[in-house]
Amino acid sequence: MSLPRTRAAQRLDELRESFDSSFSRPPAPRQEPGEALLRLRVGGAPLGVRLGQLSGLHLLPRLVRLPGSPDSLLGLVGLRGQLIAVHDLAAQLGLSSGEPPRWLLLAGGTRRVGLAAAGFEGQLRATREQMRSGGGSSSAHPLLSTSVLLPDAPPLPVLDVDALVRKLLEEASAPQQGR
């Protein structure tokens, strides 16, 4: 014969269950202020790239060059069973390619695009107050319309990776003239 449960006993059971279930839930994601950016070196100049616009960063695997391709298309790489066209980021931005590319940035959705950069110099977080539109220079490339203000350093231009990927995919889909 069971005794009727009191309201206090029911509340005690609820608290016990809540306490026990708190150990089975994953911890809440830590919210750090600002946006994560990768700091790269492209054409001898520093460049920021939003981490949220990338799907990967790798050491540049062996490239297979394509005969007759434009200079800005470095070639193809095989990565995880997928062939990816790799473009020279310095050439896309109109910068000189003094250093050989060593890093591969992956971007794009189902149609991935590879962007090659010479150097990877770390990661930083930029707050909304540090991000400035306009790039700070009248000669800035249209894909570098945002910059990050850093203490004791010149503004760091930030590449719009999504716009560059759209441009590259449109160029690849456009009918070729002169063939």
Bigger pLDDT: 137 vs 100: 100
Bigger pLDDT: 98 vs 34: 34
The pLDDT tens digits for 83-119 are 999 999 999 999 887 889 999 999 988 889 999 999 9
Gyration radius (Cα) of the chain, Å: 24
Relative to beta strand 35-42, strand 119-126 is antiparallel
pLDDT of residue 138: 45
What average pLDDT does range 80-85 have in this prediction?
92
Spatial distance between the Cα atoms of 40 and 137, rounded to a whole number of angstroms: 19
pLDDT surpassing 60 at residue 149: yes
How confident is the prediction for the chain on average, in pLDDT? 88
pLDDT of residue 71: 83
pLDDT of residue 148: 93
Backbone angles phi, psi at 48, to 5 degrees: -105, 145
Output the CA–CA distances (angstroms, integers) from residue 165 to 39, 45, 53, in the order listed. Answer: 19, 21, 10
pLDDT of residue 176: 66
